[in-house]
Chain A
Amino acid sequence: MTLADLHNLIPYMLLSMGACFLLLVGAFMRKPGPWALNILGAIIALAAGVSAICIQPSRAEIGNLLTYDAFGRFFTAASSFMACISLLFASGYSTRRPIGGEEFPSLALFAAFGMSLLASSTSLLGVFLGLESMSLSLYVMLAANKSDPLSGEAGLKYLIVGAISTAFFAYGLALIYADSGTLSLADSVSALSGGAGAAKISGIGLAGWAMLIVGLGFKTSLFPFHLWAPDVYQGGPAPTVGFISTASKASVFAVFLKFTGAVGAPWSELSHVLWVMAALTMVFGNIAALTQNNIKRLLAYSSIAQMGYVLVALIAAPESGQSSAIFYLVAYAAMELCAFGAISSFSGKDGELGDIRELRGAGFKYPLRSAALSIALVSLAGLPPTAGFIAKFGIFYSAMNSGYVWLSITGILTAIVSVYYYLRVVVYLYMRGGEKIEKAAVFPAADIPSGIALAALSITVVYLGIFPGKLLSLIASIARLAV
């Protein structure tokens, strides 16, 4: 470890030390309310993200654990920005609903640190460390609202499921180590694909990989490991749920991408299983969302389905699937955060926004926030001119280009189903009972930080839908560096 290494590590240090710093500020200064601490956390996260973009690495690998390549930097910046946005939402939210003081922003930064670690580790051990520091922070952030039993329930559920998935992951790790004798990602992955110089993978190694996928599948709520999502989404505080739904899933997918990136062809052994998982995830998520009346449950099922689309791209990797998957994750992060940001700004002292029927007429009473929510939903449905459309286009292109025609047809059919439930929310916003604005439900006034974040996100969603070119070429260049 040299000084140059430290220079490379600035984003990570900003996140982890910023988290400690926030705890100290909270402990010594009682004056600033939770909103100020959340803003401070957002600023630190923003700084970490910007530094990840700006600092050129001076060495490729650090301590056989971390790499500081473009791929890792990209995801470090992405998860820092997502933490920043979530904390902006949490700032206003914390004035209306008790989600604790300094611990919330501090944990968000720790979680972002874990996510960065996930995306930039070169060893399975590093992945495990990242996964754990992310998950532990998220458990607490879900249960942050101590006065709301649903929040506690969500935290507990996520904890139990998370513990199981960790167990699977750790055991899988052990089996892979037993089989291949290495924890280095690149080496163990090339054993899986029967790559050059690697011995043919044994049954034990395969079982280890299967368990690894189970563990990661839990985190990304892939079918059949998705059952926790609706309850956790419904109960948790909206800013936390938005953060979990985007940043944690995106960084776990970054790990998936590292697996696929290391090999020259789709993983012959596992791709059949993943094929079935992707199809069922899309079908189940979209169909279950049809009957939901609670907007957070609806978004939970929708996010399950969205992960199915990402998995389609992963299966189609490495030809073009990787960059499609990364673009999808970026677009998904923007639109999902936008939706949850609107929900969190609609959540008042009496409770969170629940039933979508509460939104009757809100489109005209609260035009800006409703517009942001509608843009997010239209994008989630994959309609132009939004990022969601370009993202879906990329997914279907990659799938068809790699010959997965049936998977694309499944995707299209389920996308048609999804249009209906996304539109339902828009219908309630603008078309049901809209005649009487005074009868619309009363929501809290918008706070400035969420307003800024929502504006930034909805502009991003539309901008990426019209001018995706630059981001697409950036992603194409980093996708080759996945490991």
Chain B
Amino acid sequence: MNGALTFIAFLPGLCALTLLFEKNPKVIRWLTLFVTSFELAICLLLYWLCWHGIFSGRTLFKIDHPWIARFGIHYALMMDGISLPLVTLTALLFALSVLVSWRQINERVSLFHIMLLFLETGIMGVFLSADLFLFYLFWEIMLIPMFFLIGVFGHGRRVYSAVKFFVFTITGSLFMLLSIIGVYIIHGRETGVYDFMLQDLAHTSASPMLSGILFLGFLMGFAVKVPLFPLHTWLPDAHTDAPTAGSVILAGLLLKTGAYGLIRVAFPLFPQAAAAFLPLIFTISVIGIFYAAWIAFAQKDMKRLIAYSSVSHLAYVILGIAVWNDVSLAGSVLQMVNHGITTGALFIMIGMMDERMHTRDISAYGGLWNRAPVMSAFFLFFILSSLGLPGLNNFAGEFLILTGVFRAHPWLCAAGFAGMVTTLIYLLSLAQKILFGPAKEYHGFNDLSGRELAVLIPLAALVVFIGIYPSAVLKLLDAPIRNMVNTATISSVGGVLP
């Protein structure tokens, strides 16, 4: 079964190559849908097998082959309970993205789907890599397809947004590259073995000063992607101008790769340095929660509003990671999955409204419930999920995060709860403005079609399912997270925070 990892990672990319020679848009759409659904089926199968304990242990699957001997680089993929849910989420959102773009993308169909599939390979690779060099390779491979998706298929100031996205992320990741080389050299000098395997690099003992600098490089790379507060400015632009599928993948998956990198790379490699930077991370997370909520409230464009809400939500995830105990970490990973589902669904629905009305301006809508009750019900449902209604998925994640935070820093937890109130304000006001009030003019505004229902129903079902049965994900997270917390202890430095 270990070969399944290679298959999952490269199937989309290889199929993209075959699309190069296909001209008929219909064939391309069906083929891409088939590939992404097949991928999803494999992931679900693995998920099912692992959940029933047929495969278990700290790492479920792994492969390891020497790749570039000169630098000791391995082609090493690894799947554990943390990556499995994220990989499955990736497969799901990509399959849905194809469906979502069915009517939206009518020109350069083959380029769109090729880029989509390459992007899937990049994201899968990031979630599966066990070798830091390979991780970085996939990390950067994600950039170019996304750049094309925004720049070619977006709207508004698409080129500006695409370039901004690219320059921001590449800046962060090039600093990360220096840190990667730094860790590699230090580890090599210490042990005489030059390699990039994450499990080996974790035992590097650099001086506090040096490991602080290296950690900062990683933090730069990941914080831009998450994005953390002062580095988030690319996100609203990229979201607003991306096509629906682009927004779904951006919010649902790309942002998660940043948080995943912190869990998988930055914190385990430099626990001491991470502890020293905790006050900084806490501060910018809390600022991010409130600042983004505040800005979101002022938005006139629905996509922008949801984009800022992502900044705010992801700050919780980072808070949970930074506290680094088993409860908060489990909450963070669960919340990554939840945010992918809920925000993905919200972006999909905004895309559907945009297709009908050709505007995302909030003031153009109002009283939608009278015109399209099914659509409105779904929209309200996902908004309630996003603001953490108990019984729905986000509640479980946020509750776990805040419980974990409370154990370490009660005051931070209080700030987190206060932040949830602000979330309530802007999301409810969005729902109120769009769904209720006096009805606006809607010409030819149909309710959801069968294809659209096929996209939304699985997402809604997941929202409820994870909400009432979070163990569906948590059970898998348990073993790897316990192991992580035990091997890397991040002792928070006293003084700054209680």
Chain A residues near B (Cβ < 8 Å): 323, 364, 378, 383-385, 389-390, 393-394, 396-397, 400-401, 408-409, 412, 415-416, 419-420, 423, 427, 430-432, 434-435, 468-469, 472-473, 476
Residues on B with C-beta less than 8 A from A323 are 70
Q: Report the stretch among B138-146, B232-240, B266-274, B291-299 that lies at the interface.
A: B138-146
Mark out the residues of chain B between 227 and 273 whose CB falls within 8 Å of any chain A CB in the assembled complex: none
Can you name 7 A-B pairs with beta carbons within 8 Å?
A385-B141, A393-B71, A393-B177, A416-B167, A423-B163, A472-B68, A476-B70
Is B167 within 8 A of A419, CB to CB? yes
Picked from B141, B143, B151, the residue with its CB within 8 Å of the CB of A430 is B151
A162 to B12, CA, bound (A): 51
B447 → A minimal CB distance (Å): 31
B406 → A minimal CB distance (Å): 40
Chain B residues near A (Cβ < 8 Å): 67-71, 107-108, 136-137, 140-141, 143-144, 147-148, 151-152, 158-159, 162-163, 166-167, 170-171, 174-175, 177-178, 181-182, 184-185
Picked from A401, A420, A427, A432, the residue with its CB within 8 Å of the CB of B185 is A401
A434 to B162, CA, bound (A): 15
Picked from A385, A420, A468, the residue with its CB within 8 Å of the CB of B167 is A420
Residues on A with C-beta less than 8 A from B166 are 419, 423
Residue picked from B143, B147, B178, B185, most chain A C-beta under 10 Å: B178
A408 to B162, CA, bound (A): 27
Picked from B69, B144, B174, the residue with its CB within 8 Å of the CB of A412 is B174
Residues on B with C-beta less than 8 A from A419 are 166-167, 170
A401 to B174, CA, bound (A): 17
Is A431 within 8 A of B171, CB to CB? no
Residues on B with C-beta less than 8 A from A384 are 136-137, 140-141
Residues on B with C-beta less than 8 A from A427 are 151, 159, 162-163
Is A469 within 8 A of B178, CB to CB? no
Residues on A with C-beta less than 8 A from B162 are 427, 431
Known: A385-B137, A416-B170, A419-B167. A431 touches B178 (CB 8 A): no
B195 → A minimal CB distance (Å): 13
Picked from B143, B151, B152, the residue with its CB within 8 Å of the CB of A383 is B143
Residues on B with C-beta less than 8 A from A409 are 178
Residues on B with C-beta less than 8 A from A472 are 68-71
Residues on B with C-beta less than 8 A from A469 are 67-70
Known: A383-B144, A415-B174, A432-B159. A397 touches B184 (CB 8 A): yes
Known: A383-B143, A384-B137. A396 touches B178 (CB 8 A): yes
Known: A432-B159, A468-B68, A476-B70. A412 touches B175 (CB 8 A): yes
Is A396 within 8 A of B181, CB to CB? yes
Is B178 within 8 A of A408, CB to CB? yes
A385 to B185, CA, bound (A): 23
A228 to B181, CA, bound (A): 35
Residue of B at shortest CB range from A381? Answer: B170
A476 → B minimal CB distance (Å): 6
Residues on A with C-beta less than 8 A from B148 are 430
Picked from A397, A415, A420, A432, the residue with its CB within 8 Å of the CB of B181 is A397
Q: Which 10 A-B pairs have the closest CB atoms?
A: A472-B70, A431-B151, A384-B137, A469-B68, A412-B174, A384-B140, A431-B159, A416-B171, A419-B170, A397-B181
Residues on A with C-beta less than 8 A from B177 are 393, 396, 412
Residue picked from B107, B143, B158, B174, most chain A C-beta under 10 Å: B174
A389 to B174, CA, bound (A): 11
A431 to B154, CA, bound (A): 10
Residue of A at shortest CB range from B108? Answer: A364
A468 to B184, CA, bound (A): 19
By secondary structure, the A interface counts as: helix
Residues on A with C-beta less than 8 A from B174 are 412, 415-416
Is B182 within 8 A of A431, CB to CB? no
Residues on B with C-beta less than 8 A from A423 are 147, 163, 166-167
Residues on A with C-beta less than 8 A from B163 are 420, 423, 427
Residue of B at shortest CB range from A409? Answer: B178
Is B171 within 8 A of A430, CB to CB? no
Is B144 within 8 A of A378, CB to CB? yes
A481 to B162, CA, bound (A): 46
A385 → B minimal CB distance (Å): 6
A323 to B69, CA, bound (A): 14
A359 → B minimal CB distance (Å): 14
Residue of A at shortest CB range from B172? Answer: A416
Residues on B with C-beta less than 8 A from A416 are 167, 170-171, 174
Residues on B with C-beta less than 8 A from A420 are 163, 167
Residue of B at shortest CB range from A364? Answer: B108
Known: A384-B141, A416-B174. A431 touches B158 (CB 8 A): yes
Residue picked from B148, B159, B163, B181, most chain A C-beta under 10 Å: B181
Residues on A with C-beta less than 8 A from B140 are 383-384, 389
A155 → B minimal CB distance (Å): 37
Residues on A with C-beta less than 8 A from B108 are 364, 434
Residues on B with C-beta less than 8 A from A412 are 174-175, 177-178
Residues on B with C-beta less than 8 A from A401 are 185
Picked from A393, A400, A432, the residue with its CB within 8 Å of the CB of B182 is A400
Given contacts A394-B71, A400-B181, A434-B152, 13 further A-B contacts (CB under 8 A): A383-B140, A383-B143, A385-B137, A390-B68, A393-B71, A397-B184, A397-B185, A400-B178, A412-B174, A420-B163, A423-B163, A431-B152, A431-B159
Residues on A with C-beta less than 8 A from B182 are 400
A423 to B140, CA, bound (A): 15
Residue of B at shortest CB range from A465? Answer: B137
Residue of B at shortest CB range from A323? Answer: B70
A397 to B186, CA, bound (A): 12
Residues on A with C-beta less than 8 A from B70 are 323, 468-469, 472-473, 476
A399 → B minimal CB distance (Å): 9
A449 → B minimal CB distance (Å): 23
A361 to B42, CA, bound (A): 39
A329 to B20, CA, bound (A): 31
Residues on A with C-beta less than 8 A from B68 are 390, 468-469, 472
Residues on B with C-beta less than 8 A from A396 are 177-178, 181
Residue of B at shortest CB range from A392? Answer: B177
Residues on B with C-beta less than 8 A from A415 are 174
A412 to B171, CA, bound (A): 9
Residues on A with C-beta less than 8 A from B184 are 397
Residues on A with C-beta less than 8 A from B141 are 384-385
A468 to B67, CA, bound (A): 9
B292 → A minimal CB distance (Å): 26
A423 to B175, CA, bound (A): 19
A416 to B158, CA, bound (A): 21
Residue of B at shortest CB range from A413? Answer: B174
Is B152 within 8 A of A430, CB to CB? yes
B18 → A minimal CB distance (Å): 16
Residue of B at shortest CB range from A430? Answer: B152
A401 to B71, CA, bound (A): 12
A41 to B59, CA, bound (A): 58
B238 → A minimal CB distance (Å): 14
A416 to B177, CA, bound (A): 12
Residue of A at shortest CB range from B171? Answer: A416
A127 to B174, CA, bound (A): 38
A394 to B141, CA, bound (A): 18
Residues on A with C-beta less than 8 A from B178 are 396, 400, 408-409, 412
Residues on B with C-beta less than 8 A from A430 are 148, 151-152
Residues on B with C-beta less than 8 A from A435 are 107
A395 to B68, CA, bound (A): 16
Residue of B at shortest CB range from A374? Answer: B144
Residue of B at shortest CB range from A398? Answer: B181
A362 to B48, CA, bound (A): 48
Residue of B at shortest CB range from A432? Answer: B159
Residue of A at shortest CB range from B185? Answer: A401
A384 to B67, CA, bound (A): 15
Residues on B with C-beta less than 8 A from A468 are 68, 70
Residues on B with C-beta less than 8 A from A397 are 71, 181, 184-185
Residues on A with C-beta less than 8 A from B69 are 469, 472-473
A450 to B141, CA, bound (A): 28
